[in-house]
Structure 1
Amino acid sequence: MKTQPRILVTNWVHQATLQQLALLGDVDANETRMPWPREEVMRRAEKADAILAFMPDSIDARLLARCKRLRVVACALKGYDNFDLDACTQAGVFVTIVPDLLTEPTAELAVGLAIGLGRNIREGDALVRSGRFDGWRPVLYGTGLDGSVVAIVGMGHVGRAVAQRLAGFGCRMLGVDPSAETPPGMIRVTLHRALEMSDVVIVCAPLTPASRHLIGNDALARMKHGALLINVGRGSVVDESAVLAALETGKLGGYAADVFEMEDRALSDRPEAIDERLRTHPRTLFTPHLGSAVTRVRQAIELRAVDNIADVLEGRRPRDAINEPTQPLAKAG
């Protein structure tokens, strides 16, 4: 009798996702809202034919060495820098991502962070909740998008979606990306020029060896005094230590982020936590990686990852594969 495929789900998913996976095989799912510890994931992965993986996961050669049955790692995400593609390819394991479904909600959040930071939403909310607000006073003047110069660093799907949303705000938009075309209505410039000209800089770039700490001490020194920086790309594209220093000197007018260096688990020298001084700085605005945290979007992302698992378990090349392993479909379940 043929053994049922085993599918490991490392983080909480919607019930509809579990139901679809149950049609494909035996499911071992994390039903809590907290990620399993690394060793727990490795232990459970040993008997898995497929893994439904998420942002907290790190798939590397050490884990793969223990996974003799594994055929596919289906990532419910777009940015895959925590996953060792070379190691997966050598182990005969497909890696898939969800390339497009995260784009729109992430772009929406980027604009929200820019408005929230510039218009002092955090401080205004605290003032009202304190009970000290007695009516209008000339306080908390900030920066609006209308009439501002906004640079978007990284003109991939997310960067272009941010530009589309900003088109109605009356701002002048600059695009920074040597490898992508600039959409109509934007001016293509170098990073140095964009930093010098912009009132708001929105980082949408993925993490690569070349982009790590792209926005660091030198870049921040080039920015206009009091300019705002927003990061919805990857945490380590921005040097958080350099940002903190620029905030403390007043060079940087504010920093908003949905992504953080401590999340980039593939980097051995990443910080273990967000610096407390950055977390508590009054000119910051943070969200806990909410880019795709829209219920219907997250459900669609999970189900797209399930489709990729189904492809492999049924003997097909997965539709969203980002690698080409040697003889990946020959493993026996």
Structure 2
Amino acid sequence: MSQTFRVGVTRDFLRPDGTLGFGDIGLSLLDNAPGVVYEFLAENTPELRADQVKDYDALLVLAPRVTAATIEGADRLTVVARFGVGYDNVDVEACARRGVLITITPDGVRRPVAVAVLTLVLALSHKLLIKDRLTRAGRWAEKLDHMGMGVTGRTLGVIGLGNIGREVFALARPFGMRHLACDPYATSAEAGAELVDLKTLLGASDFVCICCALTPETHHLINAERLALMKPTAYLINAARGPILDQQALTAALRERRIQGAGLDVFEQEPIDPGDPILTLDNVIVAPHAICWTDECFLGNGRSACESILDVAAGRVPRHVVNRAALDHPRLKERLRQ
């Protein structure tokens, strides 16, 4: 490197008092890299401004949006390293036009998110929160009214057979469940499950787990019509992205007991309005887009993101690039030894 490689870290990693809110996120990799320096952005803003990023070669981004306006004039910027696998907060096309790579961290989230999905499966099947409330309210005898559903011999359906979906099946294998998967891009050889269409999966599954990415094609993929295909005894789990699911339609299905229950870590609008009607229902478990937040998850995500940044700093193409079209940009080619 002919000059110092500067990394900006979004300020939402910090608590209000300036300390790290998530423990060790692997920043020691940047500390120990010659010629690389990092600092936290001075302001915590929902959308990054051009004046905030113009002096950085790389950004390590948690939640703020990175838009076309963000990177306008950011001539040094070469990589936006997302802390996680979702990148709906980054303008992919704008970054490709400017020769800015976007990277994600599938290695960091694979196991933690899959564990989170199964946590919701087991909590729902055993009616954990219902029994917790009974105990606290002194309604011990009512436990007879809340028999759980054993998972052995039941059908686990996963929508989206990517990194996380495959890990869900791997972790669930000892439970002795039937595995169904729906993914138009998967092949039977890699599935490790029966590949079926969405209608079949929804109709046959006792647990439907959404593990696909949010794209224009998957927006409201699970709508009122498709919810109606589910068994009345089935549970729906979403730890992917909120808008994949029509939340209004789900609220109606849960209220009318047309499905047994749901586990939601994500919502159409985040943060969810505390007055949202879905929060009044007793057959849904909710979490604030954080059920997989563990020390394992944050260290894995952080190390993966930092490794991508260091690859670019060293002139290498990082492993988990979302917008590979950016690699053809003349400005980026000058920065990378391809």
Same fold (TM over 0.5): yes
Asked if 1:279 is matched to 2:287, the reply is no
2:48 and 2:65 in contact (8 A); partners too: no
CA 1:240–1:248 in structure 2 vs 1: closer, same or farther (change >3 Å)? Answer: same
Question: Where in structure 2 are the equivalents of 1:65-84 lying within 5 Å?
Answer: 65-84=72-91
Cα distance in 1 for partners of 2:192, 2:325 equals 38
Partner of 2:235: 228
Partner of 2:164: 158
Partner of 2:201: 194
Partner of 1:176: 182
Asked if 1:58 is matched to 2:65, the reply is yes
Partner of 1:305: 305
Question: Where in structure 2 are the equivalents of 1:19-38 lying within 5 Å?
Answer: 19-22=28-31, 23=33, 24-29=35-40, 36-38=44-46
Cα shift readout 1:102-122 (whole Å, capped 9, x = no counterpart): 111211111110111121111
For residue 158 of structure 2, give the secondary structure of its aligned residue in structure 1. Answer: strand
Give the deviation of 1:185 after TM superposition: 6.2
What is the one-letter code of the residue matched to 2:45?
Answer: P
209-218 or 40-49, which deviates more: 40-49
What is the one-letter code of the residue matched to 2:39?
Answer: D
Partner of 1:294: 294
Question: 5+ residue gaps in structure 2?
Answer: 14-19
201-210 or 14-23, which deviates more: 14-23
For residue 199 of structure 2, give the secondary structure of its aligned residue in structure 1. Answer: helix
Cα distance in 2 for partners of 1:186, 1:59 equals 37
CA 1:207–1:6 in structure 2 vs 1: closer, same or farther (change >3 Å)? Answer: same
1:198 and 1:223 in contact (8 A); partners too: yes
2:24 and 2:299 in contact (8 A); partners too: no
CA 1:262–1:125 in structure 2 vs 1: closer, same or farther (change >3 Å)? Answer: same
For residue 222 of structure 1, give the secondary structure of its aligned residue in structure 2. Answer: coil
Cα shift readout 1:211-230 (whole Å, capped 9, x = no counterpart): 11110111011111232101
Question: Where in structure 2 are the equivalents of 1:1-333 lying within 5 Å?
Answer: 4-10=4-10, 11-12=12-13, 14=23, 17-22=26-31, 23=33, 24-29=35-40, 36-38=44-46, 42-54=50-62, 56-130=63-137, 132-134=138-140, 137-182=143-188, 186-263=193-270, 273=273, 276-290=276-290, 292-322=292-322, 323-325=324-326, 326=329, 327-328=331-332, 330=334
TM-score (norm 2): 0.85
Partner of 2:17: none
Cα distance in 2 for partners of 1:38, 1:104 equals 28
Question: 5+ residue gaps in structure 1?
Answer: 264-270
Give the deviation of 1:306 after TM superposition: 1.1
Give the deviation of 1:30 after TM superposition: 5.7
Q: Alignment RMSD, CA only? A: 2.6
Cα distance in 2 for partners of 1:242, 1:76 equals 31
TM-score (norm 1): 0.86
208-217 or 283-292, which deviates more: 283-292
Q: Percent identity?
A: 31
